[in-house]
Structure 1
Amino acid sequence: MGKTASLSAVNAKIGKLNSKFLKDEDYINLSHYKTTRDILNYLKENTDVGGELSLYDTTYEAELKMRNYRRAQLEKISHYFSGDYKELSNALMSEFEIEDIKKILRVLQRKNDSQILNYKDLNIDIERFKIDRNSTIQTFIDSLKNTKYYKVLRAYENESDDVILFYMEMNLDKIYYSSLLEATKKFSKADLEVVSKLIGSKIDLLNVTWIYRGLKYYSLLPEELINFCILGGNRLNYNKLKALCYEETVDSLVETILKTEYKFLFDAEKRDIYMDRRASRYLYYTAKRESIRGVSNIGKYLGYTFLLDYEVKDISAILETTRFDIDFEEKLKFLVRSYKGSEL
């Protein structure tokens, strides 16, 4: 199947998949429920993702099943691709492998034997990753020797407990986003514009958030900040990122960002609490636009990957907030999509 033909087939497939997304009224209905059992029942009766769930699932079990649902949907689409598009699809799928590695590192860092014994419950392939009760961060990293993760993780395996996970996870993110950009290098101009708007903007937002938190909470040096930045963003090239990293104070950094496309991160109260939500909301509506426009480019596919991720995140947010007995109006503030009164 040629490149154009495969994209046409994917766009047709995604058109059907888009129709299965929850509607605004579904999220309103779900947010009114007082128990997770009622939420699961509604999902089972009214949504496609609900077919994967059980009324007796814990919140954690439901989240794992929705993760598997998202992975399965992306794998189905991947079969239609070849060539450059297939490379991008494979790179996107590596997110799940990287998230598994992060989970394992977190458990090993905590040295909690009971969790190590329950890796199957965490939905991790323990045979593939060669882990058991005696595993340590060092032995786990050694088991990755023939992978692209080994070198970067080994560089930090002797760091202190308070920073080791931070350094490793930041570098895993760099590997992931670098692989996405590498996979798109031969794309057409039209496709690259979509990649820049979605993947590039996400990289920008991750970098801004990282620089802000690194300066405010860790008092890191400019050289340390720039070292963890991901290159290849939409609006923030290396020189602009470097300038941000060399801002002397948090206030001056914020003032600079307020003059950019990403001012929404800081131009409201409670900036720290809702920063990630604002970034996701920006990307959500960008993805919706590109999904509609992407008739003859990669936009419909990339938009779908973002929208599917945010659907799972929003359902998970409703389950979590219901579990903690948070009221309807407050629940809406935890969603990626925006409703009147939930502006952050």
Structure 2
Amino acid sequence: MNRLLNYSGIITKVKAMQSNLITKTDFERIANLESISDFITYLKNHKGYHSIFYNMDEHLLHRGQVEGVFINALYRDFSSVYNFANMEQRNALDLTFFRYEINVLKTCIQLVYNKDSDTYDLSTFYTFFEHHSKLNISALAASQSMEEFVDNLKGTEYYSLFNHLQNRDNITSFDYEMQLDIYYFKKMWKLKDKKLKGDNLKVFTHRLGSEIDILNIMWLYRSKRFFNIHTTDSYSYVIPIHYKLKNEQLMKLIEASSIDEFIARLNTTYYKKISSTLLDGTMEIYYQKIMLSIAENNAARYSSSMAPVYAYLLKKQIEIKRLTTALECIRYKLEPEDTLRYVLQ
């Protein structure tokens, strides 16, 4: 009873926020819009985005600014929930924020390697990260080299990781981003047991463990099919954690000498249903559906926990991905039916 009362407030808040999500009908209407300015005007009149677009001129916004506003909508919702949460709930949300921090670091790395990158405007996020992070996003985004980028990380937990990586030969942005992801998963796997307990720990462990297993499978498959990476090199890119994919099963996947052998070995594991999606190229779509299904099932099963909050934040993240896809489709004048197909896949 106490737990029900403890979570009733934040769950009620999240349910109210969920009513502001973009619906399938909204996306059908968006797919028929002819210009970016029409798109922004539509969102200005939508209850979920009115407050962040109402004072912006839709005729002056460029793609990077619009995408930045979309992502900031997720951060705004996160902040709204965080400010409402009690200490126990904030501990759970801190783990979610760490993913956002990793994502923005990866974007900054892309800017260093590609100055002409058509990425979103990071200045939109400065205020948010000032409240939740030790990172100096403005300095990181302005870095002209990886040496300067690493120097701007001094005083943060990431400095030693990047300083060590810098000493490697021929390191690429892919290497930096992969090692950031591995760092994230290793840290979260340890931190969850210190920060969480009870149902919150069960929910987070199931979600994170499933994500680790699936990402390892996806990366190993791609490395063998598209990149021809040597088996010994594969170990440095694998997240060294296993959940329902046992350690010996993971090792066998790493050591598979062909795609046929990889699939045959995968078919002996808990994740055998993934095989067909790897082969037909729909794994990315299936991955998103799996993670959403896990989040929704957890929210239903553990309703008096942070599970409904996690589910909402994931739905918001998916919504932003869909809005960004719609933005690109409208920009390139795709037919409405093609736009809708790409957006809702």
Letter in 1 for 2:64: Y
Residue of structure 2 in register with 1:245 after alignment: 254
Q: 2-side partners of 1:134 and 1:303: how far apart? A: 35
Correspondence list, 1:1-344, <5 A: 5-53=5-53, 54=56, 55-56=58-59, 57-110=61-114, 112=115, 130=139, 135-159=144-168, 163-186=171-194, 187-232=196-241, 234-258=243-267, 260=269, 262-263=271-272, 265-267=274-276, 271-272=280-281, 274-335=282-343, 337=344
Q: 1:97 to 1:284 in 2, by over 3 A?
A: same
Amino acid at match of 1:27: F
Q: How high is the TM-score relative to the length of structure 2?
A: 0.82
Larger relative contact order (C-alpha < 8 A, sep ≥ 6)? 2
C-alpha deviations, 1:173-230, integer Å up to 9, x for none?
Answer: 1222333333321544533332244222222222111111222232223343233222
Deviation at 1:307, TM superposition (A): 0.9
Q: How many residues align?
A: 331
**Alpha-carbon distance between aligned partners in 1 of 2:219 and 2:291, rounded to the nearest angstrom:** 17
Does structure 2 conserve the Cα–Cα contact (< 8 Å) formed by 1:200 and 1:234?
yes
Structure 1 residue 120: deviation in Å? 5.9
Structure 2, gaps ≥5 residues long: 130-134
**43-52 or 224-233, which deviates more:** 224-233
Over 3 Å counting, the alpha-carbon distance change for 1:211 and 1:12 in structure 2 is: same
Q: Which is helix-richer, 1 or 2?
A: 2
Name the residue aligned to 1:341.
none
Q: Equivalent pairs: percent with the same residue?
A: 18
* Counterpart position of 2:132: none
How big is the shift at 1:72?
1.4
Q: Give, in whole Å, the separation in 1 of the partners of 2:176 and 2:31.
A: 36
- Runs of 4+ residues deviating >6 angstroms: none
Q: 1:269 to 1:254 in 2, by over 3 A?
A: closer
C-alpha change, 1:232 and 1:254, in structure 2 (3 Å) is same
AA partner of residue 184 (structure 2): Y
CA-to-aligned-CA distance 1:261-315 (integer Å, 9 cap, x gap): 545544259733x432221122223323333443222211111121111111111
Structure 1 residues 70-108: Cα deviation after superposition (integer angstroms, max 9, x where no partner): 101111212344455423311211233222222222222
Instruction: Give the TM-score of the pair, scaled to structure 1.
Output: 0.83
Q: Would the alpha carbon gap of residues 22 and 154 (structure 1) be closer, same or farther in structure 2, given more than 3 Å must change?
A: same
Q: Which amino acid aligns with 1:91?
A: L
Which residue in the other structure is 1:342 paired with? Answer: none
